[in-house]
A and B are shown apart, each in its own frame.
Chain A
């Protein structure tokens, strides 16, 4: 695996790979988003308890799921950044964190909107909502720590450590919040919520939901890759390979020697990658 992964430690190899992958994520992602939303909004049967309002599930559940999934992904990037000192993995943290935070926000936002007609309030201290709110705080902490450092690589390493500590903590936070919730469950509202979860979902609803989960993953992965490429470009914008990739003609009289060498290396990296 190392032989396979190693070329991607070089930013230009990752950049080229991402550039190739982005359309493969974005286009099927957008198609599936349209398919799942039309399916979910127009063709799936209404819920026998919640009527049409349950259709919020097709944005709420995917965003909530991937909010957690992207945090784990960020922590894995953090481990790679710390153990192998790979620059691209450090940048990946910076690329993933805002997308994950936005997903967390979407799940909270849609959860609140869903809560209004179903439970009568915008916010309930439901275990799931509370855990999601704490996840948002964790994302914000990682991003704040990353940008607080003047030396960017130090910031990346600090953020990696925090992401890893956070990922160890997430299951503990989850179970404690659930436990706390059952302990404090006094209002009928929260009981109603837990009862609603009980009936298993009908297949006519499950299929569009699964498609929407996949669609959200593809779209957000494309976003992460776009952001990652921006971050790589920002650091490497003056390097010949970047200028070449962007189709910008650059002066070679001065740094001809070094420029040529870079190009050769680039080609070699590309060959390895293929």
Chain B
């Protein structure tokens, strides 16, 4: 450990703002990339679920219609 206290660690020998802002910026950029990827994935899943449900409804309705026609 190079630093005696938390205070010194945050301060970074007077360069705290530069060091911490560059680390924060890096994490922010990479984090945004990761967030964007998971967000897009969840949108895709949601849309696919919707579409699959819709296709199933249509098929069921079609089958019902066919059955009704056969009965008649």
- Judging by beta carbons under 8 Å apart, are A59 and B23 in contact? yes
Interface centre among B18, B44, B47, B55 (most CB of A within 10 A): B18
Q: Which stretch from A123-131, A140-148, A162-170, A248-256 is at the chain B interface?
A: A248-256
- Considering the complex, which residues of chain B in the window 39-55 have a beta carbon less than 8 Å from any beta carbon of chain A? 40-41, 44-45, 47-49, 51-52, 55
* A102 CB–B CB distance under 8 Å: yes
Size band of the B side of the interface? 20 to 34
* A201 CB–B CB distance under 8 Å: no
Q: B residues within 8 A CB of A229?
A: 41
Choose from A52, A223, A250 the contact partner of B12 (Cβ within 8 Å): A52
Minimum CB–CB distance from A79 to chain B (whole Å) comes to 25
Q: B residues within 8 A CB of A226?
A: 34, 37-38, 41
Minimum CB–CB distance from A110 to chain B (whole Å) comes to 4
Minimum CB–CB distance from A167 to chain B (whole Å) comes to 23
- Considering the complex, which residues of chain A in the window 27-67 have a beta carbon less than 8 Å from any beta carbon of chain B? 37, 41-46, 51-53, 55-56, 59-60, 63
* A233 CB–B CB distance under 8 Å: yes
Choose from B15, B40, B56 the contact partner of A53 (Cβ within 8 Å): B15
Q: A residues within 8 A CB of B2?
A: 42-46
Known A-B contacts A46-B2, A53-B15, A53-B18; the reply to A249 vs B38 at CB < 8 A is no
Query: How many residue pairs between the two chains, A and B, have CB atoms under 8 Å in the bound complex?
Result: 113
* A80 CB–B CB distance under 8 Å: no
Known A-B contacts A237-B47, A254-B59; the reply to A230 vs B37 at CB < 8 A is yes
Known A-B contacts A52-B15, A227-B37, A230-B44; the reply to A37 vs B23 at CB < 8 A is yes
Complex: how many Å from CA A98 to CA B32? Answer: 12
Complex: how many Å from CA A44 to CA B3? Answer: 10
Minimum CB–CB distance from A102 to chain B (whole Å) comes to 5
- Judging by beta carbons under 8 Å apart, are A109 and B52 in contact? no
Q: B residues within 8 A CB of A46?
A: 2, 13
- Judging by beta carbons under 8 Å apart, are B52 and A248 in contact? yes
A-side interface residues toward B, CB under 8 Å?
37, 41-46, 51-53, 55-56, 59-60, 63, 98-99, 102, 105-106, 109-110, 113-114, 116-117, 219-220, 223, 226-227, 229-230, 233-234, 237-238, 242-243, 246, 248-251, 253-254
B-side interface residues toward A, CB under 8 Å?
1-3, 9, 12-15, 18-19, 21-23, 25-26, 29-30, 33-34, 37-38, 40-41, 44-45, 47-49, 51-52, 55-56, 59, 63
